Structure 1
């Protein structure tokens, strides 16, 4: 048995994970801080973030305020946002932008030398700091350098397969070392989950191949609750047919959306904000244009799309502020954005839901009890700061803010806990059971079974139809039935590669084993929420219903099944109002 001790273990090495590890190491330098991640180097999906990070930096110049930022966030989330979380985000985000500046992030500057700010969708004022359209690359590079300069131990290419929770308290985790093909047991006093989203559960997504969502299923199986999983954000502008993100920064710089008739069709859906309406509004508008026959059709994929028009924007400004967009479009579509329309369509981009946490990021069970010693941050968590729809550039702010807050808390907890977790009989038993599950039941299966690709494709098709931009009871029912039946087949998948070292087939199967449970929760939440709110739009219930559904969906494991319950939204300042743009 390979046994490793950490005072604080962080799962995930994206923005939230690195920020948590740095905060823990800086606040308590004497602690053993470990980062366990299934990717290598700074290759988590945060590196692909383009648009920027929201924060009120110069209120005297812009007329902005933390309260206005919080209000925009609450309204953008269709009033499902816990308002204390929105206020905390708005108050803490500027500190993170300036902290990252000290680490070397080259934020774009205005003529007066101040950090430049973009106006993003659903925002009342320009408050998005950016580093061209490669913000994630610069932020992740700076954080990774900082983390490597601290006494933080990295365990890269380690896929977490099980959380070890002992009588309501976090005690460690088990991870598969992909390089060696062996399990490792990490014992820890405190942990932070920061594993990101699960876009690869869907057919078309802007997310990278590491975003498979298995941690939600792993957490659910250990008594942790999930919250608001039915709220899945479709980004309006993904490149057709690849799904590569075309950043909201393009629309922030003045790009238009046009249909095949040449109309700026957003005038029909959000006449005040046009292309800078919130993402759920814009995504539904594009889908509606396609359903009405006003979209273009991609010849090879037969996908319907609209055009993103940047031809009126000064080419020099595009080179300075949107260099990645120009490179991506030329490389993957063979088009010149200064001369051609860019073909775009909505794709899955972000999960507003995630692991159920309180305001401080502490992981909760279905009864609201803290899983002692465990926190979650970033997209993996649901602190309820995004509600039913996230505003662009709030995600990087959320990852940085709650990454820091959870890292500090985890370090404080570990520092105050005197006795290090021992390698006891219970830990050995849990490790042995996991070893048998993976290497005996999954890897060394007899010939036969079904293919991994078939199972994965079935899940993706079901979520695409049942949890898409437009939903209906009948399609959700069909999708839920398909996912439930498919879940039973995961253990019948035949792994052809029986080797242990870098067994990518086994890795994908373990990811799918966790993700299929998360897929069920997404569809169950969508089925029971009989209203339309934010990213959740029910054709058979097209109106928002605050009298019944101003509540969070809480999902938890009960026996072999999943049960839902609902909790009220925390409303402090802003009662629900008509959401118009």
Structure 2
């Protein structure tokens, strides 16, 4: 079989580029822009048309201390991010991101991004959860917004600039596996063209993973159906550990029963959360920031209201987001898409009635471990952060780690821009373009071809969507807003059982052209790797920190658990590495209790 696969892989069509970027969201296109404008030949692979990437769904804003609406500076932004991360974020990377934030926003403005404006022509900024002035003294207006369509505006702006720079887009292509040589360096990817079913090797001097998150391992998710953890799956199969995968953010306001996102910008504009008694309950949990406390805090508060019988609706299973008091003019100007979503998915007009909302899985804080240049780092010879040659990861699929145990709203779009740009600049400064292309190993692509051969040759077996749905049900039931040792232990066993079924997937349609069933079968392997990493890491962390709320260990344990989790697919094993507590130029923010 190995000889047959070697023969097939040696005869696969090949194309060579300076850089191959997997993913055409905000991070991928910000990186490709730097490289294309520097004269690199750049291929960007995307499962969907670039402006349909999931960044388009981001609504609220980009965090940056411009100070257009109120006094602000990057140091306060850094403090909020460190505190928001529940002190698990790497403080060197956080300082870098917060210092760079104004620069990348002004760059976007010069690219033509249509930000909302203040009367004096400056960029409009709204308040957002966890963002404060003077180290938590009061809320600050830091979210640079384009109404409630900020991600949409960002993605279109970057796509237009990339077209101008002659970036080459491979639309409706799925990367299947990384290719590593005998020295462990990454030398490209093997990918599938959906239109034809053809498999191709794309050789590269540098490969960048920008595949986004994996929220589709949960049943109730704000994520698009394309968010199946492809980057994490590829990395895990290539022997690269996944970092801090136990930390997943539940966004407080997904439309109840639908999961569609209602931006935190609604609360930034003055929207408030109510229980069935019409009580503004967040005043009890976070007396200073109230509805604008960080997302993990608000989600747990909402969940507690529901569990204690104060939920709204006939089943008492959600709370209410009230914004009618803002007035029709403000809603139509600042939140037009939210009104449209509420009418379509909740059957309510927020100008008149509150929106039913419930915490919904939204964002992964963990991912492929990197430094703040975007280089993938792995443990080697006693160094927990040894650079892996030829491979970068940026955006939600990467763990820099600027978000630690909990991400602040608006820091996701900022993460895409800062580290997409930083990776591009680092690649250019490294002069990789001037170097020679490393030769491919003899077995390049064999594992991916074996998976395809197994699917194409199947006569019977499991349905891909049945397996995927069982993953989602298991994660929803055993790894939710609140977790227990018993639930997590049961969940680990169930996911391992599902993994065995995932190796026996049968696709009835054996055609090659636009065979979406075949693509879904390939995605299952990535869902399984991501789900395993998440639930195994969560079961092992015996504390509550950020988005990981463990009922059996309700307190944060700084003595034992200020450390990053590393999960390895081979052997399904865990290791740990220290958090970087030393910033680049300022004093360390020491861990303190989080109050709001």
> Does the 8 A contact of 1:20 with 1:406 survive in 2?
yes
**1:291 has 2:307 as partner:** yes
1:192 paired residue number: 208
> Does the 8 A contact of 1:163 with 1:172 survive in 2?
yes
Runs of 4+ in 1 over 3 A off after TM superposition: 411-417
Measured after TM superposition, the shift of residue 312 of structure 1 is: 0.8
1:328 paired residue number: 341
> Does the 8 A contact of 2:205 with 2:433 survive in 1?
no
2:361 paired residue number: 348
> Does the 8 A contact of 2:208 with 2:393 survive in 1?
yes
- In the aligned structure 2, how far is the partner of 1:436 from the partner of 1:351? 30
- In the aligned structure 1, how far is the partner of 2:99 from the partner of 2:55? 22
**1:565 has 2:575 as partner:** yes
Partner SS, residue 222 of structure 2: coil
- In the aligned structure 1, how far is the partner of 2:450 from the partner of 2:364? 33
Measured after TM superposition, the shift of residue 544 of structure 1 is: 0.3
Measured after TM superposition, the shift of residue 444 of structure 1 is: 2.1
**1:431 has 2:448 as partner:** no
- In the aligned structure 1, how far is the partner of 2:589 from the partner of 2:446? 52
> Does the 8 A contact of 2:270 with 2:323 survive in 1?
yes
> Does the 8 A contact of 1:11 with 1:37 survive in 2?
yes
After superposition, what is the alpha-carbon deviation per residue over 1:480-523, rounded to whole angstroms, capped at 9, x for unaligned?
A: 10000110111212112111111111111111112201111111
Measured after TM superposition, the shift of residue 41 of structure 1 is: 3.3
- In the aligned structure 1, how far is the partner of 2:525 from the partner of 2:50? 25
1:100 paired residue number: 108
- In the aligned structure 2, how far is the partner of 1:453 from the partner of 1:39? 20
Partner SS, residue 293 of structure 1: helix
2:5 paired residue number: none
- 31-40 vs 16-25, which moves further: 31-40
Q: Aligned pair in 2 of structure 1 residues 154, 416: CA closer, same or farther (>3 Å)?
A: closer
2:585 paired residue number: none
**1:254 has 2:262 as partner:** no
Measured after TM superposition, the shift of residue 383 of structure 1 is: 0.2
1:364 paired residue number: 377
1:39 paired residue number: 48
Measured after TM superposition, the shift of residue 353 of structure 1 is: 0.2
Kindly report which structure 2 residues correspond to 1:400-411, keeping only aligned pairs within 5 A, or say none: 400-411=417-428
> Does the 8 A contact of 1:462 with 1:480 survive in 2?
no
Partner SS, residue 495 of structure 1: coil
- In the aligned structure 2, how far is the partner of 1:332 from the partner of 1:86? 36
Alignment counterpart, residue 118 of structure 2, candidates 97, 101, 110: 110
Q: Aligned pair in 2 of structure 1 residues 515, 411: CA closer, same or farther (>3 Å)?
A: farther
Partner SS, residue 121 of structure 1: strand
Partner SS, residue 353 of structure 2: coil
- In the aligned structure 1, how far is the partner of 2:81 from the partner of 2:435? 41
- In the aligned structure 2, how far is the partner of 1:295 from the partner of 1:406? 45
- 252-261 vs 562-571, which moves further: 562-571
- In the aligned structure 1, how far is the partner of 2:450 from the partner of 2:496? 25
2:416 paired residue number: 399
**1:49 has 2:58 as partner:** yes
Partner SS, residue 4 of structure 1: strand
Where structure 2 has 5 or more consecutive residues not aligned to the other structure, the ranges are 1-11, 133-139, 583-587
After superposition, what is the alpha-carbon deviation per residue over 1:291-328, rounded to whole angstroms, capped at 9, x for unaligned?
A: 0111024x6xx681100001111210111100100111
- In the aligned structure 2, how far is the partner of 1:57 from the partner of 1:226? 34
Q: Aligned pair in 2 of structure 1 residues 65, 137: CA closer, same or farther (>3 Å)?
A: same
- 203-212 vs 493-502, which moves further: 493-502
2:135 paired residue number: none
Partner SS, residue 430 of structure 1: coil
- 367-376 vs 257-266, which moves further: 367-376
TM-score, length of structure 1 as denominator length? 0.95
After superposition, what is the alpha-carbon deviation per residue over 1:504-559, rounded to whole angstroms, capped at 9, x for unaligned?
A: 1111111111220111111111111100000000000000000000111111233x
- In the aligned structure 2, how far is the partner of 1:497 from the partner of 1:289? 48
1:468 paired residue number: 480
> Does the 8 A contact of 1:374 with 1:410 survive in 2?
no
Partner SS, residue 130 of structure 2: coil
- In the aligned structure 2, how far is the partner of 1:255 from the partner of 1:58? 23
After superposition, what is the alpha-carbon deviation per residue over 1:353-398, rounded to whole angstroms, capped at 9, x for unaligned?
A: 0001122211022333211011111101000100100000011001
**1:512 has 2:524 as partner:** yes
> Does the 8 A contact of 1:8 with 1:190 survive in 2?
yes
- In the aligned structure 2, how far is the partner of 1:62 from the partner of 1:339? 31
After superposition, what is the alpha-carbon deviation per residue over 1:187-236, rounded to whole angstroms, capped at 9, x for unaligned?
A: 00001111000011100011111111132122011121211000000000
Measured after TM superposition, the shift of residue 433 of structure 1 is: 4.9
**1:488 has 2:480 as partner:** no
After superposition, what is the alpha-carbon deviation per residue over 1:159-182, rounded to whole angstroms, capped at 9, x for unaligned?
A: 111000112211000011001101
- In the aligned structure 2, how far is the partner of 1:464 from the partner of 1:450? 21
After superposition, what is the alpha-carbon deviation per residue over 1:216-263, rounded to whole angstroms, capped at 9, x for unaligned?
A: 122011121211000000000011211110000100010110011111
Partner SS, residue 474 of structure 1: helix
- In the aligned structure 1, how far is the partner of 2:563 from the partner of 2:450? 41
> Does the 8 A contact of 2:210 with 2:231 survive in 1?
no
1:88 paired residue number: 96
- In the aligned structure 1, how far is the partner of 2:49 from the partner of 2:128? 32
- In the aligned structure 1, how far is the partner of 2:203 from the partner of 2:447? 16
